[in-house]
Each structure stands twice: as C-alpha cells, then as structure tokens.
Structure 1
C-alpha cells in the first residue's frame, strides 16, 4: 500500500512537470526581471530625450548653436584652467626674468609684486582653490605644516567672507592674469623719467617709414665706402687749376720784381 502511494506521487509529479510551461533562456529571464524592465525604461527615456534634442536643434539651429558654443566654451575653460604647480612655475620664470635685469632698470610694480609672491611661497602661505572654470590663488596666515595652535584650530581659520581681500591671482584659460598684467613693461623703470618734462616722458611708437629708414641706414652702415669717379675727376681738375693759378702768381711777382 505504501509503495502504491509512492508510485502515485511520482506519477503526479511527473505529470505536473510535463504540464508546467518550459522556462525561456537566461537572457529572456533577465529581460523580464524587475532590473531588466527598469533598464529598458531608462534606455527608452534617454532615447526619447536624444530624439527631442535632435528635433529641437533642427527646428531652432541658432539657439542650438548658442547652447553648443556655451557648452564647448565651458569645457575648454574647465580643461585649460591652470593649477598650483603651473602658478609656481610661472612665478619662478618671472622672478628669473627680473633677476637678469639690473635693479636700476626694473619696474617697481613688477619687482614688488613678484618679490611679495616669492616671499609668501617660501613661507608656505600661498593657497590654491579650483572653482571649476577658473582657479584662485590667495594668501593664508600660516603654513599648513605649522604646529601652532592658531594654524591647527579650525575655529580660528580665515572665514570665507575675507577671501576676496586675500585673492592674489586668477587663473583662467591657461593664464594667470594678475601676474601677467603686473609684468607689463617689467624692464622699464618709471622712476628714471619722473624728473623729465611732460612731453619727454611719453613716447610714441615709430611709423613704418621711420622703421624702414632706420633699417636701410643700418644696412648701409655695414657697406664699404665708395668713391665715385666724378668726384675724383673734379678733385683732379681743382688741383690743376690751383697749380696753374699759383704758377701765374709766381710769374707776375717775378715780372714785378
């Protein structure tokens, strides 16, 4: 009796297995799962958004070009913004340029600005901060490696409202604009000309004709001197006339004697 029941259960299980639907492949099961449905909906949304962007750009090309230009400019600014190492390299380069000049001909503004930055760098008080599209270099009160209580206490740190007064330079599209502006005419000392009259303190750039004339005279100065034949003949004739006049005067003197 027990064996009969076991056999019946086996036949019932086999019949249920045969009647049950055959499951699909693993890819179909993954597609029909919750994660698969969510991914398909996400891809469909992105596909629809891209289609709307293309249709909108085709219908309004001017607006689309403006947005594209702004996006490209933002990406360019982001990837070309200078970092702290570039600022230190530019600062050392400018310092070397001033070091090649005599102190008497250095521009006071350029020299003072570069010397102050070099001093802050040596003291470890220069800080760099990135704002996405541009970079800022500002002045701190202490070196970050200092063990002073004022340097390590967060409650005594510089508040953000004082940051505009501490900014030393702005880095944008690969340039440090304040440092470059301070280095303009770095080899011209304005103090040398302050005692001159007003009309002599200002100079105007030469014209094209003056530049060409200066170049022509410079080239001619390297040529050997030339003596023209006419000048030589004129000198010979003059000498002959002088000799004839001297002979006639001598004959007149002899006749008078």
Structure 2
C-alpha cells in the first residue's frame, strides 16, 4: 500500500510539473505575450477613461448623452413597413371624411403617395440615424429597359429631388405635417370676407362671459302668474 501511494504521488507531481511547463510555454509564446500586452493596453485604457470621468464629469455626461441620443435615434429610426402602415392610417382617416370637409393639401399628398405605392415606385433607404422614402421613375421589377438599365437610374446627386418623406425619431415628419388640420377645408372659407377668414383666440373675459351664459341657460325659469282682481 505504501509503495502504491508513493507511486501515485510521484505520478501526480509529474503530471503537475508537465501542466506547469505547458502553461509556462503557452504564457511565454508569441500568442501569450500578445494577449498579455493586449489585456494590459485595455486595462490602461479603461483606467484612463475612469480617471477622465472622475476629473471631468460634465464633459463625460455630455459624451454619454450624445452616445445615448445617437443610439436612441438609430433604434427608433422607422422602416418601410412603418411608413406603409402610417400611410394606410392617414388614408383611412381621410376616407372617413366627406370630400367637402377634408383638407385639399392632406388629401392630395396622401393620394399621390398611394398612387406611387400602387405603382411600386416608392422606395426606402435606411441611413442609420434616419430613413428616407423616395420615388423612382419606374418600378424596379418592371420588365422595361429603362427600369433595368443601371445607367438610366436616378443618380445620387438628384436623390434630394425625389425624397418624399424623412423618418426620424419614430416619426415621418413630412406626412405628419401634411396631415395637420386634415379635417379643415380652407377652400370653404374663400368666399367669406377677408376679416372673417381668420379667427383669433378668445380673451379671458370672453371665455368667462360665455361660461356664465352657459350656466345661466340651465337655470330654471320662474313664471309668476298675476291674479286677476
């Protein structure tokens, strides 16, 4: 038993020595030296960042806010599906109104976008922080020479002329601006005099007077019957 334990002890010590030798060889190899120097560089860089944050908290807060804002803009940049969904919602809202009530600007812009979408000419491009929706001259899937020839495609220098909407921070700004007051038809008031085409906000006194008249309208009328002598 004693001889067996001695043999096992010697074998374990030899195995440990072999492992230590392999670890030392790996540590002193070119790959090991490169990894150690890389970790040391990262450690020094992290320490310098921590020291700079501690010494200049305002500057660090500004950079962190800038990075956070950039990430939020990139994360909330709308895609092609969101534009099509928003366009469908705007078209449905206008369809619920009478043609005499809906705004001509809103209706014309939405109808133009729907027409381009049905023709397959609406295109979308993501630029990281924002998205652009623009129109092509032809449907890219059409079997036409003008549509398939790359030399006849819209050059990048003329792309701003074809931009229809800009998506940023989860919104499509041009479509939202066109849909402002979509239920007000300005052309209805063109026959009125100039001083009646625009209205100003009521003053505090006018609001109080209107509220008083509204309250007085709910007061029960008292009718006194005169007795005939």
Structure 1 residue matching 2:20: 3-state secondary structure = coil
Deviation string for 1:133-180 (max 9, x for gaps)?
A: 111001111212211122112122111011010000000000000000
Pick the aligned partner of 2:220 from 218, 225, 230: 225
Structure 1 CA distance for aligned equivalents of residues 40 and 183 of structure 2: 64
> Structure 1 residue 216: deviation in Å?
6.1
Q: What aligned pairs does 1:87-166 form with structure 2 within 5 A after superposition?
A: 87-166=83-162
Q: Which has the higher Rg, Structure 1 or Structure 2?
A: 1
Unaligned segments of structure 1, at least 5 residues:
1-20, 244-257
Structure 2 CA distance for aligned equivalents of residues 96 and 212 of structure 1: 38
> Structure 1 residue 208: deviation in Å?
5.1
Matched positions, count: 214
Q: What TM-score results when the alignment is normalised by the length of structure 1?
A: 0.75
- Give the aligned partner of residue 181 of structure 2: 185
> Structure 1 residue 210: deviation in Å?
4.5
Unaligned segments of structure 2, at least 5 residues:
1-16
> Structure 1 residue 211: deviation in Å?
4.7
- Give the aligned partner of residue 14 of structure 2: none
Structure 2 CA distance for aligned equivalents of residues 184 and 190 of structure 1: 12
CA gap 1:217/1:49 in 2 versus in 1, 3 angstroms: same
Structure 2 CA distance for aligned equivalents of residues 143 and 80 of structure 1: 28
Structure 1 CA distance for aligned equivalents of residues 42 and 48 of structure 2: 10
CA RMSD of aligned residues (A): 2.3
Q: What TM-score results when the alignment is normalised by the length of structure 2?
A: 0.84
